[in-house]
Structure 1
Amino acid sequence: MTGAILTLNAGSSSLKFAVFAWSDPGAGPEFVGNIAGIGRQPAFKAKDAAGAPLDAGALAALPSDADHAAIIAELLPWIDRQLGDRELVAVGHRVVHGGRSYSAPTRITPKVLAELDTLVSLAPLHQPVNLAAIRAVAGWHADLPQVACFDTGFHQTQDRLAKLFALPRALTEEGILRYGFHGLSYDYIASILPAHLGPAATGRVIVAHLGNGASLCAMKNGKSVATSMGFTALDGLVMGRRCGALDPGVVLHLMRENGMAADEIEHLLYNESGLYGVSGVSNNMEVLLNSPAPNAKEAVDLFCYRAASVLAGLIPGIGGLDALVFTAGIGENAPPVRKAICERLDWLGVRISEDRNAANEIRISAPDSSVGVFVLPTNEEAVVATACRTLLAV
């Protein structure tokens, strides 16, 4: 088959895309792009494989109120023009929640789409925009095959105890379980571990996906054993605007004593908390690291404290720690955060080289560290493109 694969990764206020040649599975993307600031002031950037910027055309002047669907309606013809004589043969999507029914990459049908709609309440920031992207593509070209790749899928290898909440069994049977997220990122990192870790790749590894959304995954033999996120993407670490793990009694208190409704609490926990809520300055780690405000420092310190604490709590599930991998926006680009987390893990024998860490080298562990510490860029788009080729190959 000739032609190209488009991957779409719709976030709550962003849209990442990449285009891959169908016939060259080992190659990187032909061009990539990102539209940030959706809902405020969308800003388009795209570059080719050599890193040269691509002309945005009409996408340079997107209206401030443009939503994901409207932006995709502009983006698809733009991509078509970049392809010239070739055409798209598939579109792959990152979909955050697959529930109990969907774990493997799945070709999208009206039935699948309807079932994914029922999971919106479990990922209110992401699932609606993921599905809006699917519908926008279908409206542009109804016959174009689309594939959903699920962030929850990678964690299906966890045993039952790792998935259970201590709730009445009837609720467990309804599907109130720990699902885990960022699975596409973890899938990619697991696939490249052998090239960087050698034999340790099959050992006891914890991957820290630290970005505006953040989580940890404990792996053994490249498979998920435990993770910090649970039923929703609200659980676990402190995030950009999400609170992470929270005593459920706080929710009851907000309802009873503050008179807050469910929608108000949802907005508070997903949009007004995390780094943004603690600092009162920003949800952007780079901004906080450069801010003189005491509350900004406290937000960063809390982020690192919680990351180290939760990471330590995952170790019993894999029986020790051979390697720690940092990835995603903060994990790949914030040496002070990596340093602060690793300093809290000194008791495990985790030690990093100041120079290697500052230079964002691949291996940043010091020679006397008993745990290998690595910085590896993630590539969710490559996982989605591979899934499209595998599922649609004829």
Structure 2
Amino acid sequence: MTEPRRSRPASTTASGAILVINCGSSSVKFALFAAEEPLPRLWSGAIERIGLANGRFHAVDAEGATVLDETGDIADHDTALRLLLDAIERHSSGARLAAVGHRVVHGGPECDCPVVVTAALEARLRQLIPLAPLHQPHNLAGIAAVRSARPSLPQVACFDTAFHHSLPRLATLTALPRELYEQGVRRYGFHGLSYEYIVDALRRDSVDVNRERIVVAHLGNGASMCALKGGRSVETTMGFSTLAGLPMGTRCGDLDPGIVLYLLAEKGMTVEQVQHLLYEESGLLGLSGASRNMQDLLARPAEPAAVEAVEAFCYQARRHLAALTAALGGLDRVVFTGGIGANAPAVRAKICVGLEYLGIAFDAERNAGGAPTISAEKSRVVVEAIPTDEERMIARHVRDMLAVKPAARGA
């Protein structure tokens, strides 16, 4: 099927609230937003341990007060989404649900923007499951579950790959035979919704994004970096899959492909075992032997393996950051974001110290104190820490795509 590269906003206008969903294998993370500016968050929460014993469904409101916290067996995504949609109707103080936005990891080479979900789109996204086997099936399960529970509720798919459609062709190539590129084996890039939010946040803060050469470091359980020129992605550390680039919580990052061949041929591992190793047992967890969580590792200064895992992560981040400047022809700004990037001053310091040759003058006191700008006044390169909000970015896309308007007061 052929999808439009740019979808036009739907002609119908809806009013009310926007639900944002991010489905994983055994969880659904969600946020509920009012459609009015600046898209105030009404709820945040998660449904956890889907398909396992003692599932949990919890949500808090904008002030952090508990809206609900329930436990019990939750059989599948269909059950989980019905629980969520019913709860919104019962507890959301009259806000009518107008639309649902989904984070979808892979949109393939066709989707360079959010797209209204249709049967044809779902069929094409299912064909991309081999490109993102640990994410795509669960993203699609969420879409199917909402359709089953509320067939008339509009849904919009927002893709982590879409932001990187501006990559120059050379940045999308691998050195494999050309026919594989035509079959979809190419560099795509991910975390695009986070990068898009940061670009928008910088513009709202009056930064001339179109003129600056910027590296954004999205560091979390999943981690990547993106080089921005003219506000557009020109290079990124993730490529064909979400395994590439930096080491992550449990993912390996860049790896000599000969290691994979060795594990298959000499160690007798199956494809499934190698996949599990690379996605679930590597990264910070594999290096430390203790935890995938950066804060846990930073709290273990007496454990050599934990210390080395942190140092290895920061070394690779520093190396990739410097490499991205080659695609930019220089550097004007660095933005740290993501769970680690926005909240771990020690990690930011370890990455920045040693990059003085790029023009970074790091201010340790600002960094430790949680200031948004952590570079020194004399620094030629501005260094910042800005929290990302992919859920709000998705809500913004849904509102714009479907022309969702605020619900009438007192409705």
- Give the shorter-chain TM-score range: over 0.9
Q: Structure 1: state its 5+ residue gaps.
A: none
Secondary structure class of the residue paired with 1:347: helix
Contact 2:164 2:188 in 1 (8 A): yes
Partners in 2 of 1:37 and 1:349 — Cα distance? 47
Within a 5 Å distance, the mapping from 1:32-47 to structure 2 comes to 32-35=44-47, 42-47=55-60
Structure 2 CA distance for partners of 1:69 and 1:102, relative to 1, 3 Å: same
Partners in 2 of 1:21 and 1:196 — Cα distance? 23
Aligned to 2:32: 19
Contact 1:203 1:221 in 2 (8 A): yes
Partner of residue 224 from structure 2, selected from 215, 230, 248: 215
Partner of residue 7 from structure 1, selected from 8, 14, 20: 20
Partners in 2 of 1:368 and 1:200 — Cα distance? 21
Secondary structure class of the residue paired with 1:100: coil
Partners in 2 of 1:298 and 1:229 — Cα distance? 23
Structure 2 CA distance for partners of 1:86 and 1:197, relative to 1, 3 Å: closer
Within a 5 Å distance, the mapping from 1:251-290 to structure 2 comes to 251-290=260-299
- 1:303 paired with 2:313, answer yes
| TM-score of the aligned structures, taking structure 2 as reference length | 0.90
- 1:351 paired with 2:361, answer yes
> Offset at 1:13?
5.2
> Offset at 1:53?
2.5
Partners in 1 of 2:63 and 2:340 — Cα distance? 24
Partners in 1 of 2:271 and 2:139 — Cα distance? 23
Partners in 2 of 1:288 and 1:196 — Cα distance? 34
| TM-score of the aligned structures, taking structure 1 as reference length | 0.94
Query: Which residue type is aligned with residue 383 of structure 2?
Result: V
> Offset at 1:51?
2.8
Partners in 1 of 2:375 and 2:76 — Cα distance? 43
Aligned to 2:105: 96
Query: Which residue type is aligned with residue 354 of structure 1?
Result: A
Aligned to 2:201: 192
Task: Tell me the number of residue pairs that the alignment of Structure 1 and Structure 2 aligns.
Answer: 389
Query: Which residue type is aligned with residue 96 of structure 1?
Result: V
Query: Relative contact order: is structure 1 or structure 2 higher (C-alpha 8 Å, sep ≥ 6)?
Result: 2
Secondary structure class of the residue paired with 1:102: coil
Secondary structure class of the residue paired with 1:202: coil
Partners in 2 of 1:172 and 1:311 — Cα distance? 26
Which is richer in helix? 1
Aligned to 2:11: none
Partners in 1 of 2:210 and 2:285 — Cα distance? 35
> Offset at 1:107?
0.9
Structure 2 CA distance for partners of 1:139 and 1:126, relative to 1, 3 Å: same
> Offset at 1:344?
3.2
- 1:361 paired with 2:375, answer no
Aligned to 2:179: 170
Query: Which residue type is aligned with residue 158 of structure 2?
Result: C
Structure 2 CA distance for partners of 1:161 and 1:328, relative to 1, 3 Å: same
Aligned to 2:161: 152
Contact 2:285 2:292 in 1 (8 A): yes
> Offset at 1:118?
1.6
> Offset at 1:201?
6.1
> Offset at 1:167?
1.3
- 1:110 paired with 2:123, answer no
CA deviation string 1:43-89 (max 9, x = no partner): 54422222323232xxx2133x7554443232221122122433211
Contact 2:341 2:385 in 1 (8 A): yes
Which segment drifts farther, 143-152 or 36-45? 36-45
Structure 2 CA distance for partners of 1:62 and 1:296, relative to 1, 3 Å: farther
Aligned to 2:339: 329
Aligned to 1:342: 352
Aligned to 1:143: 152
Structure 2 CA distance for partners of 1:357 and 1:145, relative to 1, 3 Å: same
Which segment drifts farther, 136-145 or 181-190? 136-145
Structure 2 CA distance for partners of 1:285 and 1:11, relative to 1, 3 Å: farther
Moved over 6 A (4+): none
Contact 1:193 1:201 in 2 (8 A): no
Contact 2:39 2:396 in 1 (8 A): no
Which segment drifts farther, 194-203 or 4-13? 194-203
Aligned to 2:409: none
> Offset at 1:125?
2.1
> Offset at 1:310?
0.9
Secondary structure class of the residue paired with 2:59: strand
Which segment drifts farther, 248-257 or 125-134? 125-134
Contact 2:199 2:209 in 1 (8 A): no
Which segment drifts farther, 236-245 or 260-269? 260-269
Partners in 1 of 2:242 and 2:19 — Cα distance? 25
Partners in 2 of 1:66 and 1:241 — Cα distance? 26
Percent identity between the two aligned chains? 51
Contact 2:345 2:367 in 1 (8 A): yes
> Offset at 1:236?
0.5
CA deviation string 1:105-163 (max 9, x = no partner): 11111221121112122222221211111111111111111100000000001110011
Query: Which residue type is aligned with residue 187 of structure 2?
Result: R
